[in-house]
Amino acid sequence: MICTDLGVISYSEAFKTQERLVSEVLQGAEETLLLLEHTPVYTIGAGGDAANLLDPAIEALRVNRGGDVTYHGPGQLVGYPILDLSRRGRDLHRYLRFLEEFLVQISAAVDVKGFTVAGRTGVWTGQGKLASIGVGVRRWISMHGFCINVSLDTSAFDSINPCGMVDCPITSLARERGDELPMKDVKKLVATRFEHLLEQQLPRR
């Protein structure tokens, strides 16, 4: 698997990169994990409810992933796995559970206790939602993915119902730990552990 760090990049540019890679993986190219931070942007899933945008001045991009409205910005690590799920079981539910377990393990690795909540996709702590997941699949090639708040200023979430949930507090690794965690360290952790757990839980056939 290739792991590529795109740095800080606009949503539109990252989406173009995802589309290109999806086409390449469909043609047999190697799977890729994109790691990046987005410039500030609100997005809303294909079936999301615009009523969850609480500020009428907000413009949210409608995108082809699951889930509702969310915010991306610097200080939040975004991961876009471009995977051939046709060779990994063709089970979207299992893929989502893998992403949750991966994010729980990443949190634990930096001494933050994350957990899942039945019926709600993502990862929480006692102080709020730490990580979100929203995926898309095109001919069983995955796109979009996960985000985990590292040192993100979470005030932008005050203008939305995050992931469609009313009164959903948002937290970060920095808030949970009480100190700043360098983004490069979290990226390195994700890059070194993602493929190992993927092959454990969704082995390539």
| Per-residue pLDDT in tens (0 to 9) along the chain, 205 residues | 999 999 999 999 999 999 999 999 999 999 999 999 999 999 998 888 989 999 988 888 899 898 899 999 999 999 999 999 999 999 999 999 999 999 999 999 999 999 999 989 999 999 999 999 999 999 999 999 999 999 988 999 999 998 888 888 999 999 999 999 999 999 999 999 999 999 999 999 8
DSSP string, 130-162: EEEEEEEEETTEEEEEEEEESS--GGGGGGB-G
Active-site residue, from 3, 147, 163, 168: 163
Contact predicate 82/31, CB 8 Å = yes
The pLDDT, as a whole number, for residue 149 is 97
CA distances for 97 relative to 92, 114, 120, 121, 167, angstroms = 9, 14, 11, 8, 24
The pLDDT, as a whole number, for residue 163 is 85
Structure tokens at 2: 């290739």
The pLDDT, as a whole number, for residue 145 is 97
Domain-by-domain residue ranges, the chain? Answer: 2-201
∠ CA 147-152-157, nearest 5°, is 80
Q: Is 163 a catalytic residue?
A: yes
Domain 2-201, second-level architecture: 2-Layer Sandwich (3.30)
pTM: 0.94
The pLDDT, as a whole number, for residue 168 is 87
The pLDDT, as a whole number, for residue 64 is 87
